[in-house]
Chains A and B, each alone.
Chain A
C-alpha cells in the first residue's frame, strides 16, 4: 500500500476524504499494472531520455531583451524594483 500522504506532501498537494481514497485506489491499480515491466530483461540496457537526432547545445552567453514589467503585470502586480510578493516563509 502506498503512503499517499507522504507522496502528496512531496508534490505539494493536499487531498481529503473521498477524493484521497479514490485517487489512492486508482494509483494502486495503475502502479500494480507497472509490474508487467518486470518481465523485461533490461540488464545492461542504457536508459533512454532523448531520442535520435537530438543534440543538446548551449546558447551563447548573451544578454537579451526579456519580458518587460508591463507584460508580467498583466498577470501579477509587482512591487518595488520588480518583485513578486509571497506569503511569509519563516516565523509561523
Chain B
C-alpha cells in the first residue's frame, strides 16, 4: 500500500482502524517531500519535527475522533499558523512569526489534522503562476517546464505531487480553481462568507475566500465540513447552518438542469479546453442531466471591474506593511522615509503595480470614474447570475481558457490576467465554484471543469461535480 497515493478519507480511516500509525503516515509524506520537493519547490517551509511530535501524540490518544484524524495538510503561506514563519510569498514579511492561528487552522487541528508545511504563493496572492513569489517559482509536478498556476500554486502542487493529501489555498479571483485545474486536482472556492477569513493575510477583503485543494471531490467536501461556519472574528461569515457536505455525493445529475454559457464563443478558448467542455456536456446528458443555455451578458466586463476593485482593496489592506511591527525594516532618517524605504524594498513588482493601480483608482478625481463604476458593474454581474440561476441548478464553465503555460510565456500583466477570465466573474458575485479535472490528457494535462453553484449551495456542487469526476 502506497500511503502517499491515498486520499484524506482513506488515510483517516486506516489510522482510526489501526491499520497504520499516524507517525508512519506523516513519515511517508515527509519522505516524499525530501525526495521530490527540491525539484518541485511547493513548500516555503516544512515543519518536520513538530509534525512528527504531533503524530506521536495522536498515536497515543485512545479516542481517535475527528474528521481529519492523523491526516497531514499543507497551508498556503498567506494563512497564519502559530509559531510558523508566515510570509505570503513576500520579502516584506520575511522572518515574521505568526503570533496566532487562523480560524481554519484551528479547525483543522481540532479535527486531528497535522500541518506539515507552508506552501509557496504568488506574493500576497497576486498572480496566476507563482512566478511572482519573492522566493522562487513552484514547478508543475506533472511537467516541470510548466507553471502550476497561481496564486495557490504551491498548495495545488503539494497535492498533485503527492506531498500531502489535502491543502488550503485562498481564492480572490481564481487562485484556488486555476492552479487546481493546472495540476489535475480538485479545488473549491466556497461562497463568500462560508469560511472564516480570520488569519488570512488580506488581499481584497470583499473577494478573498479560503478553500480546500484535494485529490477528489469527496475529500473537498470533508474539508469544507471542517472549515465552514460562523466566526465572531470575521464579521462577514454567514450565520447559515453547515450541512454534511458529503450527503449527496452519490446522488448524480439525473433531471438536474445544468447551464452552459451562451457567450462562450465571444472568448478566446483553446480547442483542447473546448473539446473537454463538449465532452463533459455529452457525459452529463448521458447521466441524465438537462443542458440549458444561459446568458451572463456582462461577463466580459468582469475582468476590468475586478482589476479595479481588487487592487483598490489591496492598496488599503497592504498599507499596514510599514516595517514598524514585524517583517522587513527599511532605513530612513524620519518615519516617512522609513516607510517608503521598507515598502519599496519589500514589495515585488506585481504588488507595487497593483498597489499603484488601486491607489490611482481611489484617488481624488478618479474614484467615481473607476472604483464606483466598477462596483456598479459588479452589481450587474451579480444580477446576471441571479437571473441565470432562475432556470438552472448549476452553471458549467471551463476553469481556464487554456491548458497550463510554460514559465516566462506570459509577457505582459494583461496577458497573465486573462488566465482568470472564467473564474473572476464568479468571485465578483461571491458564488461557490469547484474545479475538477476532465477530458483527454495533453502532455499529461487535463482541462479543469468549473461547476458554479447558487449562493451557499456547495452541497449540490459536490453532487454534480462528483458525477463528472467519477466518469473522468
Say if the beta carbon of B347 comes within 8 Å of chain A: yes
Whether A88 contacts B333 by the Cβ 8 Å rule is: yes
Q: For the complex, is B135 an interface residue (Cβ under 8 Å from A)?
A: no
Interface SS of B by simple majority: helix
Q: How large is the interface on A (under 10, 10 to 19, 20 to 34, 35 or more residues)?
A: 35 or more
Rounded to whole Å, the gap between the CB of A64 and the closest CB of chain B is 10
Chain B residues contacting A71 (CB-CB under 8 Å) are 99-100
In the complex, the chain B residue whose C-beta lies closest to that of A2 is B360
B window 353-393: CB within 8 A of A: 353, 355-357, 359-360, 363, 370, 372-380, 382
Interface residues of A in 10-39 (CB under 8 A from B): 10-15, 19, 22-23, 26-27, 29-31, 33-34, 36-39
Cβ of A84 and Cβ of B357 under 8 Å apart? no
What residues of A have a CB within 8 angstroms of the CB of B307 in the complex? Answer: 30, 33-34
Most chain-B CB neighbours within 10 Å: which of A19, A46, A53, A72? A53
Known: A12-B340, A47-B372, A76-B325. A55 touches B239 (CB 8 A): yes
Q: How far is B236's CA from A58's CA once the two chains are assembled, in angstroms?
A: 10
Known: A30-B307, A57-B235. A48 touches B335 (CB 8 A): no
Query: What chain A residues lie within 8 Å of B305 (beta carbons)?
Result: 37
Given contact pairs A11-B315, A36-B301, A45 touches B100 in the complex (Cβ within 8 A): no
B96 touches A56 (CB 8 A): no
A7 near B456 with CB under 8 A, answer: no
Known: A12-B339, A59-B235, A74-B99. A53 touches B456 (CB 8 A): yes
B240 at the interface (CB under 8 A from A): yes
Interface Cβ pair total, 8 Å cutoff? 174
Which of chain A's residues have a CB closer than 8 A to the CB of B377? 37, 40, 42
Known: A37-B374, A40-B377, A51-B429. A27 touches B455 (CB 8 A): no
Return the chain B residue nearest A51 by Cβ.
B430
Is A33 within 8 A of B373, CB to CB? no
Contact B379 A46 (CB under 8 A): yes
- Quick check: B378 and A10 within 8 Å, CB to CB? no
* Residue A63 at the chain B interface, CB threshold 8 Å: no
Report chain A residues within 8 Å CB of B315.
11
Candidates A37, A53, A76; contact of B326 at CB < 8 Å? A76
Q: Given A26-B413, A30-B357, A51-B429, is A75 in contact with B339 using a C-beta cutoff of 8 Å? A: no
Interface pair A47/B375, CB less than 8 Å apart: yes
> Does chain B have a CB within 8 A of A54?
yes
Taken together as a complex, chains A and B put the C-alpha atoms of A37 and B369 apart, in Å, by 10
Give, as a whole number of angstroms, the nearest-CB distance from A71 to chain B: 4
Of the candidates A6, A14, A48, A50, the one whose C-beta lies within 8 Å of that of B341 is: A14
* Closest beta carbon of chain A to B433's beta carbon, Å: 13
User: 25 A–B contact pairs at CB < 8 A?
Assistant: A7-B360, A11-B355, A12-B336, A13-B343, A13-B347, A29-B413, A45-B376, A45-B379, A45-B380, A47-B378, A48-B378, A51-B382, A51-B431, A53-B191, A53-B240, A54-B192, A56-B236, A67-B99, A74-B97, A75-B95, A76-B325, A86-B338, A87-B333, A87-B335, A88-B335
